[in-house]
Amino acid sequence: MTEYATLAGGCFWCTEAVFKDVIGVESVESGYIGGHVPDPTYKQVCGGDTGHAEAIRVGYDPDQLRYADLLDIFFATHDPTQLNRQGNDVGTQYRSAIFPADEAQETEARAAIERAGETGGKIVTTIEPMTTWYPAEGYHQDYWETSGRSNPYCMAVIPPKLQKLRKSFAARSRAVSV
């Protein structure tokens, strides 16, 4: 039975690429959550006025991947100490946030924030209410596999994230386990 995690860790192209490589992940959808404008567009969200975060909705098999492990990967593959930014991407749409689906996920999110804080730096990741999920436009889905490798931004940001996943979580990486 598939369970879902909704996470915002900066550019959704980058977080999507990481989680597509994780064993136990069945689907990753890029989208928008946490804002006040119905059915926002990428252009609106990038403008920073809708309140939405660029996020991913990860479908995973809890028999293969625990939510806590998924959160540990999330914290290790983005910078949860940067407020409203990831690298050169600046604005609330690039915030680090977790949108728990239920009380159990919220409890796990709080524990994961505590674990992440043990490695140094003040964690600014927020836990926000699950609100309406808006899938991003089609050209944002599977971006790394389709367009990302010809995008200089993606080529600069995604490979180091994948390298960190494959080094720190080798047993969880599809690429390493092949």
Beta strands 96-98 and 126-127, pairing class: parallel
What would the two tokens of residue 65 be?
Answer: 């991947």
**For 15-64, what is the HEC assignment?**
HHHHHCCECCEEEEEEEEECCCCCCCCHHHHHCCCCCCEEEEEEEECCCC
Task: For residue 11, indicate whether it is catalytic.
Answer: yes
Catalytic entry in 11, 14, 46, 154: 11
Q: Where are the alpha helices (DSSP H) in the chain?
A: 12-19, 42-46, 67-76, 103-117, 143-146, 152-168, 174-177
User: How large is the greatest C-alpha to C-alpha distance in the chain, in angstroms?
Assistant: 43
* Residues with catalytic function: 11
